[in-house]
Amino acid sequence: MSTSDPLRDPHARPHHVTKASYSDRATDAAHPLSAYLLRLMTLKKSNLCLSADVSTTNQLLYLANAVGPSIVVLKTHYDLISNWDYNPTTGTGARLARLARRHGFLVFEDRKFGDIGNTVQLQYTEGTAKIIEWSHITNVNMVPGKAAVDALAEAAMKWRERKRYQVKTDISVGTPRSGSVNSDDEEEDDTVTPMPETNGLDVGQSSNYGRKASIVSITTVSQHFEPINSPRLSEDLEEESFLGIEEAPMERGLLILAQMSSKGNFMNREYTDACVESAREHKDFVMGFVAQESLNTQSDDQFINMTPGCQLPPEQEDEDAEIQGDGKGQQYNTPQKIIGLKGNDIVIVGRGIIKSEDPVREAERYRKKAWEAYEERIASS
């Protein structure tokens, strides 16, 4: 056992990141989306992610709108939604993106990509859902190996470069003019002068007092690249945005599924170590992990750790009461244990909120408890 690795030595000192405030970490974060999320957490005093595992668009959008003020991340499973609308501008993904701007949270599609590199690239950027277009964050199951992370990182980089500039197209139609009006004994000029930006050329012929005449109508298509943050383009954004912070950056982020909360899962230490190694190789794309403990071990690690399997006992019960699993392999921990003891950053809560009588009130209860655990953790440094 190596005493230099806190993941292997329970007596090692906590990593410095677990003692730093979210606001301080935001200034040093390597990933722009991580920096944004940490600032958002500070502003909203929330480290809560809602796992919106519902089956209809109405349920999903209702929860996003109702619980949005309490959360910083909304986790989705688009393939659970029976009536998901795939329209890129008016569909479910686009509507989620608008609610995210309005309430100040990021969308995390819990896709758990797990295939060869070429396949995961296509699943991420193409197909019916086009996940990369509306989801700020997604995740990967690294069982196929590092190539899956490499491929997703490459796809995100190419998408970002395309998105940095929006192609604007201007179309103009020229006034018809007579061309090549020749008599039989006139010399015809065969020289063609190229016309840049000319996309279409319609030629019609008519007779004019015995002479052939070509009436040329020129359609000019001009394309130019306009920066995505152009003031003219921003005028198209009619939706209100969350006050106190700008819109989320253009970059996309990845979480690596490094550990699971389900009983008997096969994600052993070797697998988790490989996940951490891959994350360090792609710090400009990998934001962090879905894990049960903080996986920051090296001095320059700044990854965000999100943890599922969070549940509070009923309000009338003692906070230290033992919480039973769901009988389907899920094991639960309280925010105090996940944030306070394990050093994680964000708790992921699903049924504890969704199945309650008042999801809005329950989301606030989880937000407060998870935030208190964070404040106690950094205060003890």
Pair (36, 185) in one structural domain: no
Rounded distance between C-alpha atoms, residue 209 and residue 308, angstroms: 85
Pair (269, 363) in one structural domain: yes
Asked if residue 5 is part of any domain, the answer here is no
Choosing from 227, 250, 267, the residue where a domain stops is 227
Q: Which residues of the chain have pLDDT under 70?
A: 1-12, 165-239, 317-330, 381
| Positions at the binding site | 53, 75, 261, 330, 350-351
CB atoms within 10 A of CB 227: 11
- For the four alpha carbons of 162, 165, 166 and 170, in that order, the dihedral sign comes to negative
What pLDDT is recorded for position 239?
Answer: 59
Rounded distance between C-alpha atoms, residue 56 and residue 149, angstroms: 30
Q: Are the CB atoms for 300 and 29 separated by under 8 Å?
A: no
CB atoms within 10 A of CB 83: 10
Helix or strand holding residue 207 (H, E): strand 198-208
Instruction: List 179's β-bridge partners, or say none.
Output: 214
Pair (35, 156) in one structural domain: yes
Q: How far, in Å, are 153, 211, 320, 338 from residue 316 at the CA level?
A: 47, 99, 12, 21
Pair (257, 323) in one structural domain: yes
CB atoms within 10 A of CB 360: 14
Asked if residue 210 is part of any domain, the answer here is yes
Q: Please give the positions annotated as active site.
A: 110, 112, 115
Pair (70, 129) in one structural domain: yes
Name the domain count of the chain.
2
What pLDDT is recorded for position 13?
Answer: 74
Q: What is the CA radius of gyration of the chain?
A: 28
Q: What is the CATH number of the domain that holds 91?
A: 3.20.20.70
Q: Which domain holds residue 206?
A: 169-227
Longest dimension (CA), the chain: 106
Pair (148, 183) in one structural domain: no
Q: Are the CB atoms for 168 and 141 separated by under 8 Å?
A: no
Asked if residue 9 is part of any domain, the answer here is no
Pair (210, 311) in one structural domain: no
Pair (103, 159) in one structural domain: yes
Asked if residue 11 is part of any domain, the answer here is no
Pair (217, 312) in one structural domain: no
Asked if residue 7 is part of any domain, the answer here is no
Choosing from 198, 227, 256, the residue where a domain stops is 227
CB proximity list for 59: less than 8 A, separation 6 or greater: 52
What SS3 state is found at 367? Answer: helix
Locate 113 and state its tokens. 């990509």
Pair (259, 363) in one structural domain: yes
Express each pLDDT in 270-303 by its tens digit. Answer: 999 999 999 999 999 999 999 999 999 999 999 9
Q: What pTM value is reported for the model?
A: 0.78
Asked if residue 157 is part of any domain, the answer here is yes
What SS3 state is found at 52? Answer: coil
Chain centroid to CA 337: how far? Answer: 27
Q: Are the CB atoms for 257 and 237 separated by under 8 Å?
A: no
Choosing from 180, 204, 227, the residue where a domain stops is 227
What pLDDT is recorded for position 332?
Answer: 81
Pair (264, 278) in one structural domain: yes
| Positions at the binding site for substrate | 53, 75, 261, 330, 350-351
Chain centroid to CA 104: how far? Answer: 13
Asked if residue 232 is part of any domain, the answer here is no
Pair (173, 153) in one structural domain: no
Asked if residue 233 is part of any domain, the answer here is no
Helix or strand holding residue 156 (H, E): helix 146-163
